[in-house]
Chain A
Amino acid sequence: MSNPDELPGGDGPGYYRRMQAAVEELLILKGVVTADDVDRQVEAMASRDYTRGAKMVARAWVDPGYQARMLADGSAAAAELGLEIGPLRVIVVANTPEVHNVIVCTLCSCYPRMLLGIPPEWYKSRAYRSRVVREPRAVLAEFGTQLPEHVRIRVHDSTADMRYMVLPMRPAGTAGWSEERLASLVTRDALIGEAQIPEIV
């Protein structure tokens, strides 16, 4: 994918980058926001990453009560671990030996940023968004994820006000592990549903 910030050939900022800069300047001139507000938001966004979601997953793996609460209300479960997510409405979907969940936003690029940080480029690409609802296994295979034939796939298209996170299956070989060590196994792609977490051998 081309860089939206640059014109090909290094000819400076592209159309969308210039549009964004113009709107930002106008909002500041009109006193709607300050330059500080913008900087603080950018910093806050950059400081959040998927380790927040990983923390929830690790807790769910060791605490069945928490797991049940998380599946009933993802937003409350985030708050329970002290993760500030604002008004975000989170639905957590659990993988099982029979069902594998995958997240997409076919309309744009809705993503649970408050829990997973800034989305990867591929998540926003037209190819991913259009193909994963039509041939999810083919897409997963390109991520190196092979599902057994009998597993059913649930694709979640975040078209409106909910945001989704996958609860991956706890890998075999991790009995007795601490929550922290478990959290270190969780990858961003597993939380979106493109990957599984390999067993520990």
Chain B
Amino acid sequence: MGTAEPAAARFRAGDRVRVRAAYPPGHLRTPYYCRGRVGVVERLCGAFANPEELAYNRSGLPAQPLYRVRFRAADLWPDYAENREDVVEIEIYQHWLEQAA
């Protein structure tokens, strides 16, 4: 059983974070194309039940902080051919993020 108390938020807007380069099986909401990439936290969206657990009819608790992380498109795609200042912002749950240097 999970607890009702959401996990504490470890990151703040402006923090540099790296998405874990992990490839577990299951229902995941972390797109492949950002795994292992470094971005900057744009905002904390709140805490939400973990969809990886909900998908299997479990509680998803404790709720996981959810962030919007901003990546430079050129960091996601080394051969990015358009404006190098373009960005992609992706919602990522805290357990997928680690502090980046």
Binding site for B on A (CB under 8 A): 89, 91, 106-107, 133-138, 149-162
Contact = CB atoms under 8 A, between A and B. Distances in A.
B5 interface: no
A155 B85 CA distance: 12
Interface in B69-101: 73, 76-77, 80-83, 85-93
Interface residues of B, number: 26
Nearest to A138: B82
Contact of B89 (A135, A152, A155): A155
Contacts of B16: none
B40 interface: no
A155 B88 contact: yes
Given A137-B82, A154-B89, 9 more contacts: A91-B45, A91-B68, A133-B76, A133-B88, A137-B83, A149-B83, A155-B86, A155-B87, A161-B46
Contacts of B11: none
Contacts of A150: 83
B33 interface: yes
Contacts of A137: 82-83
Contacts of A152: 83, 85-87
B80 to A, nearest CB: 7
Contacts of A159: 29-31, 90-92
A8 B81 CA distance: 38
B73 A155 contact: yes
Nearest to B67: A160
Given A133-B76, A134-B77, A162-B68, A157 B82 contact: no
Central interface residue in A106, A137, A151, A160, by most chain B CB within 10 Å: A160
B91 A161 contact: yes
A157 B31 contact: yes
Contacts of B80: 134
Given A159-B30, A161-B45, A154 B87 contact: yes
A36 B88 CA distance: 42
Interface in B29-43: 29-31, 33
Interface in B15-72: 29-31, 33, 45-46, 48, 51, 66, 68
B31 A160 contact: no
Nearest to A134: B77
